[in-house]
Amino acid sequence: MALINQNGTWHAELTIPKDVRQVLGKRKFRKSMGTSNKNEAERQSQFVIARWKEHIAVARGKGGDVSFYREMYNNTSDEGKDVLEEMFAEVVVDDYGKAHASQLSPSQLKNSQEAFQLMTGKETRTDIYIDEWLSGWDVKLQTMNQGRRYVEAMALKFPVVSMLTRKVVKAWYKELQEEKGITVKTFNGRLSPCKGYWSYLQDKGVASEALNPFDGLGLRDKKRDVVRQPFTVLEIQKLFAHLKAQSNQDPQLFQLFTLAIYTGARIEELCSIKTDEVGDGYLEISNSKTFAGVRQVPIHPEIIDAVAAMKMASEDGYLLSGLDGKANQYGSRCSRKYNC
């Protein structure tokens, strides 16, 4: 961050970190402060630079953070608020390279108005406290990662806190029910961390104390016209043959299917097995949904050689090597690759 005097006029400048230069399409931000007075330039630059930093955060997939503006707005006098509102209005319009709101397209105008509401604290981004909330959530890493995914999905669907009501949450469930066949039990499991996060937002004073949009939903499962049937032996054989034929293009999927068929273990359990958990004739399942699920599973004679080969070829310490994502995180390691 720097203030540069060029031909008697001060300019603010901020070098963009290397990891987001390609996303933002430039090496640095630079903007004239329109004044020869350094003190005035410093005062103006703090808003501009904070906005640039928010763009960098968005480029990194962190959603941005307008708390800088909101705290400044809340801590100033009524007269100061009027001045800040004028500055904020200029900042959100300048995001689009325009000098006045009248030059914005309808969609740009709508987005700039939403940004202004967030900056003045009249609205609050739903995702703004996720990291802070997680830092104090005393649970296992796997539970925390899963909770983060569910809360981030909720925040993506409802980006502003005021959008969250029981009505829209129920509509969200119906949408997922139609698109993905999700059940009430599964949806309630996803809402559990969302409830905890909402309580945190209430403690921070940005969510209504009188409303918890995740309680009293009265959800019901959709009646199924077709009862799920187990695969027949012939169907399993066809699947096995097809995946084996495709194993050169996608060896992990064939390996996963083979392990699942011959062990009966859950997909997330299999994706979490490390090479040092492959014993003499058994697999050690240490990452299970329940305590009772921690167990040793015998290796079927049909796959002993395959398991040994997978262990020998592993490059990341996992029996199923090469899946995307973080260690021991099923949602990352498997679902991103296969959408399972």
What pLDDT does residue 21 have? 76
| pLDDT mean over 254-269 | 89
Buried b (16+ CB within 10 A) or exposed e, 199-222: ebbeeeebbeeeebbbeebeeeee
More confident residue, 292 or 253: 253
Q: Where residue 312 falls among pLDDT bands split at 50, 70, 90? A: very high
| pLDDT mean over 253-272 | 88
What pLDDT does residue 327 have? 40
| pLDDT mean over 234-260 | 88
Q: Where residue 133 falls among pLDDT bands split at 50, 70, 90? A: very high
What pLDDT does residue 207 have? 84
What pLDDT does residue 199 have? 92
| pLDDT mean over 269-276 | 89
Judged by average pLDDT, the poorest of 13-22, 99-108, 279-288 is 99-108
Q: Is the pLDDT of residue 280 over 80?
A: yes
**How many other C-beta atoms lie within 10 A of the C-beta of residue 123?**
21
What pLDDT does residue 333 have? 45
Q: Where residue 308 falls among pLDDT bands split at 50, 70, 90? A: very high
Closest CA to 182 of 196, 167, 195, 172: 172
Q: On the CB side of 220, how many CA atoms lie within 13 Å of its CA?
A: 3
| Alpha carbon distance 227, 113 (integer Å) | 49
Q: Is the pLDDT of residue 66 over 90?
A: no
Output the pTM of the full model.
0.49
| Alpha carbon distance 105, 103 (integer Å) | 7
Q: Where residue 208 falls among pLDDT bands split at 50, 70, 90? A: confident
pLDDT in tens, 171-199: 999 888 888 888 888 999 999 999 999 99
Q: Is the pLDDT of residue 305 over 90?
A: yes
More confident residue, 150 or 106: 150
| pLDDT mean over 215-233 | 77
More confident residue, 108 or 237: 237
More confident residue, 228 or 198: 198
- Encoded amino acid at 263, one letter: T
Judged by average pLDDT, the poorest of 7-21, 98-112, 208-222, 272-286 is 98-112
Judged by average pLDDT, the poorest of 72-81, 207-216, 275-284 is 72-81
More confident residue, 61 or 22: 22
Percent of the chain with pLDDT over 90: 21
| pLDDT mean over 231-248 | 88
In the beta sheet, which residues pair with residue 15?
A: 28
Average pLDDT score, the chain: 80
Q: Where residue 303 falls among pLDDT bands split at 50, 70, 90? A: very high
Evaluate whether 80 touches 121 at the Cβ level (below 8 Å): no
What pLDDT does residue 18 have? 81
Kindly list the distances between the CA atom of residue 207 and the CA atoms of 58, 70, 109, 133, in Å, as whole numbers in the listed order: 23, 15, 26, 14
Kindly list the distances between the CA atom of residue 106 and the CA atoms of 10, 102, 111, 304, in Å, as whole numbers in the listed order: 32, 10, 9, 63
What pLDDT does residue 127 have? 83
Q: How is the chain split into domains, by residue range?
A: 2-119, 130-203, 233-338
